[in-house]
Structure 1
Amino acid sequence: MNPLRRRTFLIAAAMAGATVVLAPASPADAGTDQWEEESKRRQPKRNDVLTGVPSHNGWEMEKVADGRGNIHTRPVPGTPLSGVQLRIGVVDAVLAHVIHRFHCDVDELRDGDVTGWCPPAAVKPALPESNLASGTAVRIRAGHYPPGSRGGFYAPQVAAIHGIIADLGGTVRWGGDDAAVDEALFYIDVRPDDHELPRTALRVRPL
């Protein structure tokens, strides 16, 4: 609609008592530069967050946490932890449950005992530890159970850990059961399109 016809239409509508809202008919009406600027303003700065690279379990690694991405500091109800950086949604529901069960069934935790997300450059992409960079894993007392070292837990504690994992229907794996053993590591063991993970999250999420 050219400016003259547009103005005539608005005048006629006002005389008829109508309420009319007109958006610019094309970029030419508002100015191409203005439209492009508005479009860029509305888009999150995803390039500052996403890597385009999957972690070991298929979830995308992210460059930062608590920014404009999917990984944020989440509470862990029933524990003294102030928060853990996890992928929000079904992942944080399931991993928070793992942490809580560890606190109750394996050993009491203190604030600072659990770490979540870490930068992609800090992990080896070919190993399950890379899941930390996608917000889909946690390390519990990493200093007590270093990678490659087995036997950090007593037999009853190992049985309790296996009980926690079994209750989650295969959606979570313990690094202590891996060939490249990492007893501090617990991670989501299904891909992003898995259908069991949402069901498990609903089952274990606190009311």
Structure 2
Amino acid sequence: MQNGVTRRTVIQSAAVVGLAAAVGSLTPATALAAPAKQAKKAPASANGWSLEKEANHVSTVWTRPVAGPGLNVDVRIGDVEAILVHVIRRFHYEIEQLDAVDLAGWQQIGALDKNRPESNLASGTAVRIRPGASAKGGLFPLQEMTLRDVLADCEGVVRWGGDDSPVDESLFYIDAGPDDERVSAVAQKLRDWNGTPGAGAGVIMDPKSAKRSAAAEKLAQRQAR
């Protein structure tokens, strides 16, 4: 062949070009097949709800009123608020009247043990009622019976720190994750009660009635650790 180009050179060049084209056509497919990088999981409290760095600003935690007692509490708005406010109100009406110093909500995680239930305060899914009364034995028997009745209202969605080890009788927290359907179901039930005469917080219940005491005892056994 002319210009020193042999038949063998032409064949080799064509083979190289063909191989390069084949590799180029495979590269996009290979890239598409690569697994996507997973997003970093947001920090969460012990019950699985995302932590909040502050309240009342770019947050799911806001200062909310507690109707009846005239108190306010920093709590996660929505279903969590409906449930925990119900607990606070029944405690105030049926166990012991509360003042502003007797109620605390959201706290920054830096002041808490992130591996313990108290970390739920940092996600707005817990409250402290009588923060200074965390030790075991802070309630009289009838008060504890009433408290068990309040917990039964919440169908296991709320846990009392008095059942934890170590004990913290001041702590009440959501004991279900953010995707647990029981949270929205219980919250809606409590909202319905609030709109029904003769139902909801503020209506004095009899925790010693057979039906209510049986429900409370059953839940206490289920939540025992």
Report the TM-score, using the length of structure 2 for normalisation. 0.66
- Report the CA distance between 1:112 and its aligned residue: 2.9
**Corresponding residue SS for 1:192:** coil
Q: Report Cα offsets for 1:151-177 as digits up to 9, x if no partner.
A: 111111111111100111100000001
Residues in 1 aligned to 2:101 and 2:187: alpha-carbon distance in whole angstroms: 24
Let me know the Cα RMSD of the aligned residues.
Answer: 1.2
| C-alpha contact (below 8 Å) 1:56/1:130 kept by paired residues | yes
Q: Which residue of 2 aligns with 1:123?
A: 112
1:1-207 mapped onto 2 (5 Å cutoff): 52-81=42-71, 83-143=72-132, 145-146=133-134, 149-205=135-191, 206-207=194-195
Q: Report Cα offsets for 1:81-131 as digits up to 9, x if no partner.
A: 1x1000000000000000001011111111231100000101101110000
- What residue identity is the alignment partner of 1:74? R
| C-alpha contact (below 8 Å) 1:80/1:109 kept by paired residues | no
Residues in 2 aligned to 1:135 and 1:65: alpha-carbon distance in whole angstroms: 9
- Report the CA distance between 1:179 and its aligned residue: 1.5
**Corresponding residue SS for 1:53:** coil
Which entry has the higher C-alpha Rg, 1 or 2? Answer: 2
**Corresponding residue SS for 1:94:** helix
Residues in 2 aligned to 1:99 and 1:76: alpha-carbon distance in whole angstroms: 8
**Corresponding residue SS for 1:204:** helix
Q: Which residue of 2 aligns with 1:41?
A: none
**Bigger fraction of residues in helix:** 2
- What residue identity is the alignment partner of 1:54? A
Q: Report Cα offsets for 1:6-35 as digits up to 9, x if no partner.
A: xxxxxxxxxxxxxxxxxxxxxxxxxxxxxx
What is the percent sequence identity of the aligned residues? Answer: 47
Gaps of at least 5 residues in structure 1 are 1-50
**Corresponding residue SS for 2:90:** helix
Gaps of at least 5 residues in structure 2 are 1-40, 196-225
Residues in 1 aligned to 2:58 and 2:159: alpha-carbon distance in whole angstroms: 28
Residues in 1 aligned to 2:54 and 2:162: alpha-carbon distance in whole angstroms: 27
- What residue identity is the alignment partner of 1:99? I
| C-alpha contact (below 8 Å) 1:93/1:204 kept by paired residues | yes
